[in-house]
Structure 1
Amino acid sequence: MNKDCYYFAHDSNAKDDPKCVLMIEQLGMEGYGIYWMLVETLRDQPDYTYPVANIPALARRYNTSAEKVRTVVYNYELFTVKDDRIFFSESLNRRMQVFNEKRAKRSEAGRLGNAFRWGASQTDRNAITLQSQSLAIKGKESKVKEKESMEKVATKRTAFVAPSLQEVSDYISEKGYAVDARQFVDFYESKGWMVGSNKMKDWRAAVRTWTRRQNPSNTPSHEPQRPYELLD
């Protein structure tokens, strides 16, 4: 194994989690592979988060589509998305917190052992013990603060953020859709970005649905095309 590879624990029955079962049913085992690719990618990051904007590049690197990767990130509650800017796995964060605490304790124990082995004086040993206790207390305080911070910024599902006209236009161009970005934005802004009686969850999915269901041949040129509502 490459020495630069990083370890993380995971459950052998993760595939039986109801969220994963639904994902596999809808996306096949490719979706399951994308899920673990994302978890491994998060594990390699210093803060265990990844930018949403980099999803297309990540998809190209692993020979899949950005649409499928976004679906896994947004649709199955397997990841938490913050401000439509970064995403992370709460499960991975919990596991890595336990792992890092154990590693820190082993490192401290080794340091203390070396100090005693090299004949440190009793005064030195007392100082080392006090320092170790202080580090343990600080570690607990840091853990509490980290948990409180996470509870404030992380939500089970990220609140919807309405896209700008430029974002919609860029997405349409990326996909090669024949869709009027301004017409799309104006329509949903007039509805308060609602889909039926529910708040829109994914404007990109709404663009795709709009594209699939519009019928230009039956729409007078002087009238805007009437979109179909995105199904939940």
Structure 2
Amino acid sequence: HMAKDQSYYFSHDVDAFNDPKIVAMISEYGVIAYAWWWIIIEKLASYEDYKLPLKKYTFVALDNELGMKNEQNSTFVEHVFNKNEHVLEQNTFCSFCSFLFIFALINDFELLACDGEYFWSPSLTRRFELRKAKNEEISQKRRLAGLKSAEARRENKQKRTRVEQNLTRVEQNELIKEKKRKENIYSYSYYRDGENQNSNELLNMFDDEPPKTDPYKNVFKIYMNDVGEISPMTKEKLEYLVNDFGESEVITAISKSVEVGKASIAYITAILNNKIREEAAKESGTNRRGKGTRTIKAKSDGSDVDWKNETGEWL
């Protein structure tokens, strides 16, 4: 049977020509024996277990491959046969030149070995077994390296997954913090009194500190509900208006702007500025009237003067 892992090459000592056994073989049969030797080795290398059977078909083929068909009557045959006559005279293969040559390689030069059923080259078998062991070792190392590489890839994938999960949690936390911040600053919803209380309680759940009075909170809520979203610039303007006119006046101005269909921060500001002018004019008239009254009342002891009306609510 041909070898299952038939090789395309095998190792060959560069100084094989100087091997004493090879030298003896060449001396006995000529340089042509060196060619016959390597043809036989190549044939052995192509078969399973690197052995050839001691069968008629083996020597028929070898006679043809070694070009020994015309060697039947040569001195080569006579020499080999005469030298080993006591062994070969009963052998049915002695008519094949290749058998006579192989017999000499086994018995005279110890280049081949035989067990009665097969013949082989111990040197060739040893080399192939060594090569097979090395190939198996290399395959094992590659397999282990592959397993190690696969394990490393799995570990790296797990690490990346953990990092991605951690990043996702961090990002989610940041989004939650940002949402809370916007809720506490801009995103106020306007509800009725009972709903406002519930909303405030929900907002306070996210506060790290106890709830504080926010003079702008109701203004922001009403603006968001009646006018629209509060931009940073609008927020700043509303804070200025609350500081200048008070919470209730700003809320009143928002309501008036909605009533006339001109709800905007500019119109709300205009309403409040007009309020200042109206109050200034009113105060000026009151002062003129108050002067005459005080002149008349000065004659009394002052017990009948209404000081609340005299001073006015806007002083």
TM value normalised by structure 2: 0.35
Say which structure, 1 or 2, has more relative contact order (CA 8 Å, 6+ apart).
1
**Larger radius of gyration, structure 1 or 2?**
2
Which structure has more helix as a fraction of its residues?
Answer: 2
